[in-house]
Amino acid sequence: MSRITTAFGAESTASDVIEGIDLTGQRAVVTGGASGIGIETARALAHAGAEVTIAVRDLAAGDKTAADIGRDIKVAPLDLADPVSVRSFVQAWDGPLHLLVNNAGVMACPEAFTLQGWELQFATNHLGHFALATGLHTPMAAEGARIVSVSSRGHLFSDVHLDDLFFARRDYEPWSAYGQSKTANILFAVEATRRWTGDGITANSLHPGAIMTNLARHLSPEALAEARARSGGAAQFKSVEQGAATSVLLGTSPQLEGIGGRYFEDCNEALPNVEGTRTGVAAYALDPVTSEALWEASLNLIKGAS
């Protein structure tokens, strides 16, 4: 497989990458579409003609975002950490779906668990999006769809620990938990593409860049300094418009038609990570054996959830 490169880069914005693309008649869902890069992702898609549903926990914030964008924006409730909420969203969906942007997430939060006993970051960032995507498989397969899985450079902090997903046998460490959940986002895209390409569905993952958004709400100044150090000490912050660019590119570019299972950063397919650096994609995040095992484990978890 040849590496995919584009005419865009780190400074490109969502409006740059979608210029000239007509999404009239297309329907999109953006989770976490009322904050951060979710807003700019929804804005770019709507301005290109798509009917966009922003799936949010805070309906008031969602309504404000919809009014601000001023296009065909719908607002629907979704709490990714609550399986009942995810099922309600899926059951309410009617008609085809052309683009699912799994954007919402939490980062480096204090130790917390859902009612099911799932560690909160893994539950929100991976399991909730997994349940959403599998639940929406039929409408996505109706006309073929793309899935955009927003991961992070933070996946370099941790592989997925299939034998201890929820820190029952390990001391909880916020960045390791975040890293595990972000690796899961990449593995999901690998396995979704393998299983669903025949249905016309492909999935890719990405690192959006370092952006100061509400995602960092749990971080003290000291924790932010640690985050910069973990990222190599020289993270270049992007605007939210630049941060949304890679998501929008993966969701709309003709260059990505029929292509899935890959990880991108700065609007280009990432190179393999070199040990000791904080760029590129870790080999474990693209491992097909792990992706299949994680898929089966995730299926078993959400089937037993209530």
Task: Give SS3 for 54.
Answer: strand
Task: Give SS3 for 43.
Answer: helix
C-alpha angle 220-225-227 in degrees, rounded to nearest 5: 95
**Four-point Cα dihedral 35, 41, 43, 46, nearest 10:** -130
Sign of the alpha-carbon torsion through 115, 117, 123, 129? negative
Q: Quick check: 206 and 247 in contact, CB under 8 A?
A: yes
Nearest-10 crossing angle of helices 174-196, 221-230: 50
Q: Quick check: 3 and 11 in contact, CB under 8 A?
A: no
Q: Quick check: 155 and 182 in contact, CB under 8 A?
A: yes
Sign of the alpha-carbon torsion through 242, 243, 246, 247? negative
Length of the chain (residues)? 306
Residue 284 is among the residues annotated as catalytic for this protein: no
Burial label, 142 (beta-carbon count in 10 A; 0-12, 13-18, 19+): middle
DSSP-assigned beta bridge partners for residue 206:
150, 264
Catalytically active residues, by annotation: 178
